[in-house]
Each structure stands twice: as structure tokens, then as C-alpha cells.
Amino acid sequence: MTVERRSAPLGRSRRPTIKDVAEAAGVSRSTVSRALTGRGYAASDVRERVLRAAAELGYVPDVMARTLKQQVSRSVGVLVSDLRNPFYAELAAGASREARERGYTMVLADTSLSAEAEGEAAEALVALRVAGVVVTPNSSAVSTYLSSHGIPVVEVDRQFAAGSTDGVVVGNRVGARTATAHLVGLGHRRIALFIDETDWTTGYERYQGYLEALSAGGIKVDPELVVSSGWDVTGAHRRALDMLRGPDRPTAVFAANNVLAEGVWRAIGELGLRVPGDISLVAFDDAPWMSMVSPQVSAVSQDTFNLGATAVRRLDERIERPESDSVTTVLNVRLVERESTAPPPAL
């Protein structure tokens, strides 16, 4: 005989309220509020009693109710372009830690370089009444929209609204000039630039740094060596195959970001070419894979974690002082020389 044992479904227990905490601690609800938020006076022994009662009851503040009352939350939005790219993942990690340390909850959204997704995410953040937003913008539209709703914005990595919103960027022009000058100093004259775009501040500044280094080295720019290589590894790989198959291929490549560098690296290997014996390679963005392959790839390193953290610090300052002038912070970069660059092969 089979015996079935049945039990009643677990009932949902009532969520503890601020009233429950007040009764357990023997104080008023307003005292509980002051003790838990740190706003207003509460004696240290009373605060400890309230915190202990809240912990024992498992009390969690109703953030939405507080938001509705105060018209703003202790949440910040972070909109990034593509979390599949380790650059944006690291930036978001830096932003998350800084937000947590400053008492904010971070709401993260990946826009996948889509203007539509970016707009939808911005609308959601407005609806959530976030205190501010850090964004790697695709255009000026998102910053304009958020600002029109009174939400402080910090543009990070690139800027479209410099002068009207705060920004945190890196020395893109200096980094690109240093990387290209390194190749020039090794004797390279045919240096290709793989770049995704030149309209955004990142792409434009890196392109200008490349041009400046060539000019300083007395090298005339060859438009055929400036390759618009798309936004992903596949596009860069395809363009690199086309360029490097030819008899008049460059002796060196400067890839303007880590994704493009990966596409070029794969193409070099697929064609049976040697780095740096046949072609030198240097990149902007020191992605983890660059120090894991052989030979290791020389790269312009930027502290991406600190980039995200600095953006949240700047946002917190803007939230506290909304009327102060907008500020653009530029973080330093450095060239990490590894094994992927050498003098050009003898003809």
C-alpha cells in the first residue's frame, strides 16, 4: 500500500513593519525612522536597540514608499553599452562598489549600443525616480532626456554633452599618440589604424592621437591604412584578413580598442603571420586576454574599474551640489610594453 504524505502549502508570513520594530524596541515610529536612516537625532543606546530589533524581526525598509514620500530614491542608474565587452563589465563593477560604499543601490542596464534600448532604459530610470545616472552614451539624446526630468547625469568613457553635464573620460589622445609613437620609434612607416568610429569623443581623440604621432615622425597619412572596422570581433577580423592578405600590407597595426585588437589578432594567426616578426600589434584597452596569449600584446592601459568608481563619486557630488558648474575629469593612461612589437621585418 502506498501512503501519500501531504502537507499544507507554506503560508506567506506577514512582512514586518516599522510599527513592529517600534513596539519591539519600545520607541516611537519616528524614532525608528531616525535610527535606521541616520537622519535626525537618536541616542546611541536607542539606535542600537532599534537596529537589534529590526535585525531580529528581519525588517527591510520599504524603499518604494520612502521614494514616493521623498520624491527621490537612494538608487542610481548605470547604463552601459555592451556587458559582453570586459571593458564595460569592469566599468560597471567599479561603479557598483562605489555606489554601495556611498549608500546607493545600483540599477544596471545594458543598452547593446541600441538607441531604442537606451531610450527605454532611461524612461525606466525616470519612472524609478533614481537619484542620478551614469551613462556611456550613444548620443546626446539620453543625457538631454534625463536632464529634462531633473536627473543628474555623468557621461563616462565618452561625452556628447560636455559643458552641460559632468563627464569622466581617459586621456584618449595621449594614449593613442603614445602607442603610435612607440611603433614609429621602432622604425615602422606603414602603420594601420583599426578603429570603430571617429564621431564619438573616444574614437575622434584616438584618431587624432594617431595622426599626431605620424606627423611628429614625418610620416604622411595613407587613408588606405585607416580602417573603419565595425563594432565587433567579426567585423575587425574580416577587415584585417582583407588588408593583411595583400602584398603591400602594413608592418604594424594600432587597434583602437580591445575588441578590434582581438579581431586583428585572430586574422594574423589565421594567415600564418608572426607577431611581431611579420607584423607588430599594439592596442588601446588592456583586456585580460592580452597578457594571457603568446606573445603577449602591448596595450594602452586605463584603470577601467576606477573609471566607473570615479563616475559614481562625481555623480554623488552632483546630487549633493546640483547648482555647481559641470566638470570633466580626465584620468591618466599608460602604455604597457609587452612582446607584440618589434622593428619592422627587413625587406
What is the tens place of the pLDDT at every residue in 249-262?
999 999 999 999 99
Question: With bands split at pLDDT 50, 70 and 90, how would you rate the model's confidence at 6?
Answer: very low
SS3 state of residue 18 = helix
Percent of the chain with pLDDT strictly greater than 90: 68
For residue 56, what pLDDT is reported? Answer: 86
Within the chain, residue ranges assigned H as helices are: 18-25, 29-37, 44-57, 63-70, 86-101, 115-127, 141-148, 172-185, 201-216, 233-245, 258-270, 304-320
Instruction: Please provide residue 162's backbone torsions phi and psi, each rounded to the nearest 5 degrees.
Output: -60, 135
pLDDT of residue 72: 55
Q: Residues 36, 62: contact at Cβ < 8 Å?
A: no
Q: Is the pLDDT of residue 10 over 50?
A: no
Please tell me the distance from the alpha carbon of residue 291 to that of residue 196, in angstroms, as a whole number: 23
The rounded distance, in Å, linking the Cα atoms of 51 and 21 is 9
The confidence score (pLDDT) of residue 282 equals 98
Least confident of 28-32, 299-303, 314-318: 28-32
Instruction: Name the residue with higher pLDDT: 67 or 172.
Output: 172
Position 3 scores a pLDDT of 39
Write down the mean pLDDT value for the chain. 89
Is residue 69 pLDDT above 80, yes or no? no
Q: Where in the chain is the domain with CATH 1.10.260.40?
A: 18-61
Q: In the chain, list all ranges with CATH 3.40.50.2300.
A: 70-170+304-333, 172-302
Phi/psi of residue 341, nearest 5 degrees: -125, 145
| Mean pLDDT computed over 234-255 | 94
DSSP class of 289: G
pLDDT tens per residue across span 25-63: 898 888 888 887 776 677 888 888 988 988 888 877 655
Q: Provide the residue type at 28 as one letter.
A: S
Question: Does the domain made of 172-302 have the CATH classification 3.40.50.2300?
Answer: yes
Residue 13's pLDDT band (cuts 50, 70, 90)? low
Distance CA 137, CA 141 (A): 8
Q: What's domain 70-170+304-333's architecture?
A: 3-Layer(aba) Sandwich (3.40)
Q: Which residue has the higher pLDDT, 37 or 166?
A: 166
Across the range 210-224, mean pLDDT stands at 97
Tell me the CATH number for domain 18-61.
1.10.260.40
Which pLDDT tens digit goes with each residue over 117-164?
A: 999 999 999 988 899 999 999 989 999 999 998 999 999 999 998 888
State the pLDDT at residue 269.
96
Task: State the average pLDDT over residues 217-238.
Answer: 93
- Is the model more confident about 257 or about 11? 257
In 3D space, the residue among 268, 231, 228, 230 whose CA is nearest the CA of residue 250 turns out to be 268
